[in-house]
Structures are given as structure tokens and as C-alpha cells.
Structure 1
Amino acid sequence: MTQPFNFEQALKDLQAGKNLTGKDSILGPLIKQLTEAALQAELEQHLAHDEQPNRKNGKTAKTIKHLSGSFELETPRDRNGSFEPQLIKKNQTTLTDEIDRKVLSMFSMGMSYRDINQHVEEMYGINVSSATINAITDKLIPELKAWQQRPLDSHYPIVWLDAIHYKVKEDGRYISKAVYTLLALNMQGKKEILGLHLSDNEGANYWLSVLTELNNRGVKDILIACVDGLTGFPEAIASIFPNTETQLCVIHQIRNSMKYVASKNQKAFMADLKCVYRAVSKEAAELALDELEAKWGEAYPLVINSWRRKWHNLSHYFKYPEHIRKVIYTTNAVEAVHRQFRKLTKTKGAFPNENSLLKLLYAGILNASNKWTMPIHNWSLCLSQLAIYFEGRLDSVLEI
């Protein structure tokens, strides 16, 4: 039988320095007493309104976890089995969802299940098994599915598209899968992740399906799409958004170029290459590219040909002012998101299934989105200039 809460002893314990909440807390017995009293009142009200003959029929014990530890709760029963307690439902094992929120918060910071359990046990004296943590974090999956299908705005001035790769277990073996991330600047100049998709590998064909889904979810126009140098990417974008300007990532192009330059020549080659991508105008950049080819073309024709072949999509940024150039000449914005993903997943190595990966990345997105409350620097100026460069394209959504 539950012992009445001893207020005099609780006062002495508090004066002696015992914790008010947490493991072995002073309030633990009081919470148990109040909870059982509330359930008893629920049963009595149920019996008073029950149309069938009914009466009390003992109690059932179960362990309840709460922020002040855990206790054995004695839940009253009725003879007919029609009593459904509301304060603590039949399969409920926590008093509030606060512990669930704590677990999700730690999970979203990339903490391992073992660390989460240890932290919860230290704080509240509760052992949270891996199965319990998994059940709590699985609550993110329906939310993730709804987020992936949510309607989107009709216009986005700038979108960055990139992929990151993870090992995921499938049919008994671990295979590499590509996670496709679409990061946008919306009309308010705030960052927004439009989607997160998983595929066996990164390719223009799959990007085509991703972009088609984007269009189906309400996106009608993108002014500038910033992408890496994946073959067929600009064509995939043009097939769904024919008016979108595709800017290839200059940083990706530089990195790929330097792979084919001998180490002894890399410093000199890089100095000449800077004259190309840091030129003040497209015309100046093309002159610098001619000079680069005259000096290095015979030694590194593959590199020069790559710049020539991709020049149309590499050079768009030259026509914009500096503050727009900084935003679009590289995919660093979405790569920064991927760096956050790597922080979350660095202790994981590989994932047992797709959902275990996606729910962790989604938790990371929720954390990141909470910080994206302000527009990027000089956004008002950027937007007004983009409206001029892309005349008429934003008229229907600009608030003037």
C-alpha cells in the first residue's frame, strides 16, 4: 500500500541538501501519491457513470518513468475491464513526454544510444534501453514523411543541390547510398531545406526525378541553381525548369582540376588559375583563360578542355555584383549543411536501414532550421537586383 507523503521528512531532507528533483528526489513519493490519487478518482467517476453493474477489482503495478526518477504505480482496475485511465494510459510508461523530448534533443545532437542512456540515468535515475530510444526516435519518421511531401513556395531565387554518401545495410550487406539535399533561399532570404532524398548512387537521372517531385510540390520557377560538376546535371535542371540559370560550383571545378596537375606545378598553376575565376568580368576571365591555355595547355590539355567545355555554366556569376557572386559561385552553403550531417553521424559508421539514417538527418535539419531565422546579408539589395536581372520572373510574388 502507498505510504502517505511525509512533508516533515521532506522538509528535513531538503534542508539536508537532498535534491528536489532528479534521481532519488524528494518529490518522487509525492508524485507517486498524487498520480495514484488521480487514477483512483478517475475510476470512481467511471463507476459512478457506468450503466452496467461494476465495481473495483484490485490494482495492477507497473514502472513509470518521470523527471524525478521512476516509481511503481498501482493502477486501479474495475471488474468489467471497461475502465480506461486517461492520466496514465494502459501502455504508457512515462508520466509526461518531457523525457521523450530530452531523448530527441540528445539524438538530434548526434549522441549515441549509449550516451543518451547514460545521460538520462545520471539526470533522472532512469535506465532507457536502446529499444526504448529507438521507439522514441521512430516518432520522427511519420513527421519526416509528411515534411518530405509538404507543399512548397512557387518561386525560389536560389537553390543549391548536392549529395552526401553513407553506408546503409541492405539485403545483409552494407552499400553506399547518396542522400540528396536541396537547400534554397526563399523570397525572404532565409535558408530552407526543400527536400532530403535517398538513392543508391548520385546521378543526373535520379536528380531528374528529385526535380520533378519538386515541381509537383508546387515549385514553378527557380532563378539560379548552384550545383557541382556532375555530368548531365544542367540538362536535368533545364528539362524541368527550362528558364533556370545553372551555375556550376567553381570550387568543385578547381579541386577537380588540381587532381590532374603535377604537385611541382600546382602552386604556379593555381596562381594563374586565380586570374580566371577571380577576374572582374567575364571578358577579363576569358582573356585569363586564354593565357592559362597558352602557358599550360600543352602540359595539361585535359584540365583546360574541362574549363572550356563547362565555361558557359561556370561563368554565369561574373555578370552579378560581388554580394550575389559570393552566394552563387560555390555550393558551400549546402556543403555546410553536409558538414553538420557529418558531425551527427561521425560516431555511427554505417546504418542498419534507411529510416535510421533519414530520421537522424531530419533531426539535424530541425536543429539547423531553428537557427535560420534571419535573411542572409544584404538580401534586400540582392533580391531587388535579381528582380532586374530576371525581369518579370518575380513580379507575381514580390510584395510591393
Structure 2
Amino acid sequence: MKLIVSDAHEGLKAARQNMLAGTPWQRCQFHLMQNAMQYVSKVHLRKQVADELRNIFNARDLDDALKELKRFVTSHEKTAPKLASWAEDNIPEGLTVFTIPAGHRKRMRTTNMLERQNKELKRRTRVAGLFPNEESLLRLVTAVLVELSDDWETGMKYLTI
């Protein structure tokens, strides 16, 4: 395991610490953006804050991202102190992606890949509707996951290694 990407759900964080301690963790940048908007009280400022956060996440490297974060915190500490404090504590969790190769960053900075996989599982299990037992559900889910894995290994290239 080289990198874990998830949101900041407390149960996921605890499980990660228990089972995969020492594995780098990337907090989903999309979820960070959503969380940040809770601290922007004026609707007309949301686009500006989102753009500033995107500048942090799209930085060239970790040093530039940290400089952008510092600039963000400084510019908001007087007008939106809760946002500035939250950003200072939470945004660094979304910068772990800068430790992996640049070609992988775009795909690994969010949980989009996992959410797409879960959506496909939900779609396929809804078609079946009712399952006579747990084993039949597991057979279907396993078959779907094997199919997705085959696509990844042979067809579509999500990450080029």
C-alpha cells in the first residue's frame, strides 16, 4: 500500500491507524473544498475562496502549496478567522499527494475513482433486486469487482506506472 485516499470520516481514520499505520494518507481535496465552504458565511465569497483553495491544490510542488496556504491563511485571518484556522489545520491533509509522482497526482487527489466504483456496484446490485442469501450477493459483487479489475489491468489506464 503506497497511499490511502479518503475523506476525514472518523471511523476510516481509526481503521487506517489500526490496520495501515505508517501508510501515507491523502484527504480528498474535493471533500476539503466542500468542508471549507461551511466556513464561508457570505455566498458571494465562495467562488473566490474556492479559487484560492484550487491554487493551493494545483501548486507545482509541496513548497509552493504550503506558500499558497500561508498566503490564504494570512489573507483570511482577520475577515474569516474560523476559515483561516480551519484551513491551517485541515488543508495540509490534502497535500500528501505531492509526495507521489506528478503524473499520478491528478487521479489520486480525490476519491472519485472509489466513488465511481461504488456507484457501479450499487447499479449492478439494484438490477438484481433481491438476493436469496448473502453468498449470492457476494458472488455478484466479486464478479463486478473482478470485471473492473480486468478493465484496469488490460484496457483503460487510470495510472501509468
Tell me the TM-score normalized by structure 2: 0.75
Counterpart position of 2:66: 286
Separation of aligned partners in 2, 1:254 and 1:225: 18
The question of 1:225 aligning with 2:4 is answered yes
The higher radius of gyration belongs to 1
Q: CA deviation at 1:352?
A: 7.7
Alpha carbons 1:250, 1:329 under 8 Å: kept: yes
Greater RCO structure (CA 8 Å; 6+ sep): 2
Query: Which segments of 5 or more consecutive residues in structure 2 lack a partner in the other structure?
Result: none
Q: CA deviation at 1:337?
A: 0.3
Separation of aligned partners in 2, 1:226 and 1:299: 32
Separation of aligned partners in 2, 1:232 and 1:284: 32
Separation of aligned partners in 1, 2:83 and 2:151: 40
Secondary structure in structure 2 of the residue aligned to 1:223:
coil
The question of 1:336 aligning with 2:113 is answered no
From 21, 35, 41, the equivalent of 1:256 is 35
Equivalent pairs, count: 157
Separation of aligned partners in 2, 1:304 and 1:322: 28
Tell me the TM-score normalized by structure 1: 0.34
Pair 362,377 (structure 1): closer, same or farther in 2 beyond 3 Å: closer
Q: CA deviation at 1:357?
A: 5.4
Counterpart AA for 2:160:
N
Separation of aligned partners in 1, 2:90 and 2:21: 18
Alpha carbons 1:227, 1:249 under 8 Å: kept: yes
Alpha carbons 1:223, 1:243 under 8 Å: kept: no
What are the equivalent positions in structure 2 for 1:1-400 lying under 5 Å apart? 222-231=1-10, 233-261=12-40, 262-345=42-125, 355=134, 358-374=138-154, 376-379=158-161
Among all aligned residue pairs of Structure 1 and Structure 2, give the percentage whose two residues are the same amino acid: 21
Q: CA deviation at 1:354?
A: 7.6
Secondary structure in structure 2 of the residue aligned to 1:226:
strand
User: What RMSD in Å do the two structures reach over aligned CA positions?
Assistant: 3.0
Q: CA deviation at 1:351?
A: 6.2
**If each structure's strand is expressed as a fraction of its own residues, which one has the higher value?**
1
Query: Which segments of 5 or more consecutive residues in structure 1 lack a partner in the other structure?
Result: 1-221, 380-400
Separation of aligned partners in 2, 1:353 and 1:310: 45
Counterpart position of 1:395: none
